[in-house]
Every structure is written in C-alpha cells, then in structure tokens.
C-alpha cells in the first residue's frame, strides 16, 4: 500500500527541529495490530539507496548507531526470514519485521539479538493461521523438524 510522503519533526540536543520526510518512492504499510496512525516504510532492494539515506537520518538510528540491522532478508541464513519483510517506523525509524501472510508487525531480531525463533514460530500461531485461512492461503509448515525421541 503506497501513501504520500510522511513528515516527522525531530529535535536535536540543542533543541533545533528538523523535518524528516520519508521519500515518496518508498512504499509504506500499516499493521493490523497497531493504531492505523502508525505507518512503516518498507525496505526493498529496488529502493535501497533512498531508504538507507532516509533511515540514517532517523531518530532511532541516531540513538542506536552501534546496532547493525539486517534489511535484506535474502541474505539471511535462517529459513524463517522467507515469511517476513523488513520495515521501519516512519515516525522514528525503529526497525521491525512484518509477516507477509497476516501483516503482523514484530520486533526486529537484530535489535534484541534474540535470534529468529519468534519468526520461525509465528506462521503456526493462531493469529497467522486464522488470517491465512480467511485469505484462502495454504498453511505453512514449521521450519523446525520434530526430534526423534528414543
């Protein structure tokens, strides 16, 4: 879902206010679990340069310079990433991931260094399965195979 460019006012340490605009060529989305006023910029390889330039100016990035974010999920090793896209809050630049099936927005694993277990479990969650069923999508199998117990 595309929307017009979003403008956010940021204040620096000296109290100066800057207008930060999400470039119009970056597609935006919302999340069904969050207020509709919350808008997210969608990372894409096609618009990587303009997304990166915008994101590096955001409040979240300025406050978390040491955190390395994986934006390109095609470079990820875990299979769980295939069901998600990376997005950032237009309001402050905080990174998230969004399920491609139910559009639920989750914390980006790179922020908490939490790994991808939440991403791997999500497709079999009640909410995601219900949403997929409403849309007529086939169920997703879990990525983790059950262990053989002797």
Query: How does pLDDT run along the chain (150 residues), one tens digit per residue?
Result: 444 345 544 445 555 445 577 888 888 888 766 666 688 999 999 999 999 999 999 999 999 998 899 899 989 889 999 999 999 999 999 999 999 988 889 999 988 777 899 999 998 899 888 887 777 766 555 444 444 555
**Segment (H or E) for 51:** helix 48-55
To the question of pTM greater than 0.95 for the whole model, the response is: no
């Amino acid at each position: 879902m595309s929307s017009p460019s979003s403008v956010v006012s940021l204040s620096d340490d000296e109290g100066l206010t800057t207008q930060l605009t999400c470039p119009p060529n970056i597609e935006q989305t919302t999340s069904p679990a969050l207020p509709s006023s919350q808008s997210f910029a969608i990372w894409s390889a096609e618009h990587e340069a303009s997304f990166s330039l915008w994101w590096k100016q955001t409040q979240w990035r300025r406050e978390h310079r040491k955190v390395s974010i994986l934006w390109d999920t095609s470079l990820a090793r875990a299979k769980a990433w295939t069901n998600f896209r990376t997005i950032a809050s237009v309001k402050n630049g905080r990174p998230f991931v969004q399920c491609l099936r139910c559009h639920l927005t989750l914390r980006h694993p790179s922020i908490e260094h939490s790994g991808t277990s939440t991403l791997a479990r999500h497709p079999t969650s009640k909410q995601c399965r219900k949403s997929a069923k409403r849309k007529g999508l086939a169920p997703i199998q879990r990525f983790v195979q059950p262990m053989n117990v002797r």
